[in-house]
Each structure stands twice: as C-alpha cells, then as structure tokens.
Structure 1
Amino acid sequence: MRVDSRDIAILCSRKIEVCKKIFMNIKSQCSIQRDIPWISKVEEANKATKIILVCLKISRLSDDIADAAKTAGFSADQKFFLVIIHTTEPGVDPDISVPMQDERILDVANILYSENVGCYDCQQNNVAKSKISSWFTETK
C-alpha cells in the first residue's frame, strides 16, 4: 500500500502486530481519528512527508534502534520520528535515554507497556501522547 505524498507513514519491521496494538492504544488515547497505514519498508512510504518508526526495545536500545532503521531500509539522510516501546513491569523505570546520536531522528517518544497491565498511566506515557498528538496535528 502506498501513502499519499503529503501523508504520514508508520513503519515497523519487527513484531508488527504487538507494536501496532500498543501504538494504536496510545493513538486512541490521543483522540486521533486518522487511519494511518502500517508498512514494513521505507520505500512503501512513497513520498510521505512524515515517517514514524516504531521500535520495540528487546535488547540493547541502541542495537534495537539501529536494527529497526536498517531493516526498514532508511537511507543515510531519511529523517523520522522514533517511537520506542519499552516492555517493563510495574514499578520498574526503564532507561529511556537514547544512547546513540542519529541525526535522522527528529524526535523520540517512549511508551511504557506491560503485557499484564497494557500501557501504563504514567508521566512518560503522557509525554509520549503529547508528542504523538503534536506529530499528527502538525501533519494536517
């Protein structure tokens, strides 16, 4: 599926269904009604003006980010908004600092999630919701 040239594209290349479920939960909490296609390769985005890369933290964050960008096929100058999903247990504060400097990353939103709880009602997720809302609002 191709995206209109002035639209948004969401890329995710690993654990797509899990990431989509979590991201869509946050998106619905932001009252964003737009349907956005999920794609696995950047070339499917055609000429989308804004691209969101969803990355599930599985191991070392810097490795997960680099792998997600590489697998999605980002070029050296392709810019994107990074959404990182951290799977964590209640009471555990994960390290949300992005340990690498990648000039392609325009902004980062961190979502804290648990399989048992879902998306946490916490300050970090409130920040993520605000950033995601802004990203969609600025696209209109």
Structure 2
Amino acid sequence: MTTKLRELEVKDLLSLTRFFGFSSETFSLAISILDRFLSVMKIQPKHLSCVGLCCFFIAVKSSEEEKNVPLANNLIRITQNRFTVSDMMRMETIIMEKLHWKVKAPTALRFLRLFHSHIQEQLDHER
C-alpha cells in the first residue's frame, strides 16, 4: 500500500460523497475508518477499492439518515467495481472486527471544528 494509492481512494470517496450529497462529517468518518483500518491491516492494492467502499458504506450508515443509505449493489454498480455484495459484506465485517466495532471515533474534521471554536472563544474574550 502506498500513500499515492490511499490518496486516490480518498479522492474516490470524496466523489462518492459529493455524488450522493452526503455531509462533510460522513466523508471525514469514512476517511477515519479507512485510515484506522489501514493502520492495523496490510492489504493488497487490488483490495483497496473494496475496503474504501466498505468504509464509505459504514460511515454513511453511521452518519446519514437511514432513508438516504444507498443499497450495497447500487454502490458497487455506481463505482463500477468488480466485486460482489457478498464480498463487500464480508469486508465490512472484517473492518468492523478489526476496529472492535467502534465506528464513531474522533475525526480530523471534528478536531478542526473544536479547535476553531476554541480560537473563536479566545478572540471573543480578548475583545
């Protein structure tokens, strides 16, 4: 796995987020799940698209309204990937197990928002 491959996957996830109109929080959570998984598992580059799509799917199910969650087979079709729903569900289980079923972790976006809020409070106090 290389940094460049990860960056390409992040761009794909951003495209999916925009395509479906999902929130920045969903995108940030998908990246967080992806990075956390990649930090504990070595994967072959050929599996990265399945891992990335599963991380996106997990993030969507955790962050978005249930009625807005796309079906797995629609995600596979839209992304033109060459794996099955069964492959995706199996990978989702592997990811969840490796993350100890803890999906909602602090994200970079959450940190930046908290930091920004703290700076704003400091500026307001100085005025």
Decide which structure has greater helix share: 2
Decide which structure has greater strand share: 1
Give the structure-2-normalised TM-score. Answer: 0.28
Larger radius of gyration: 2
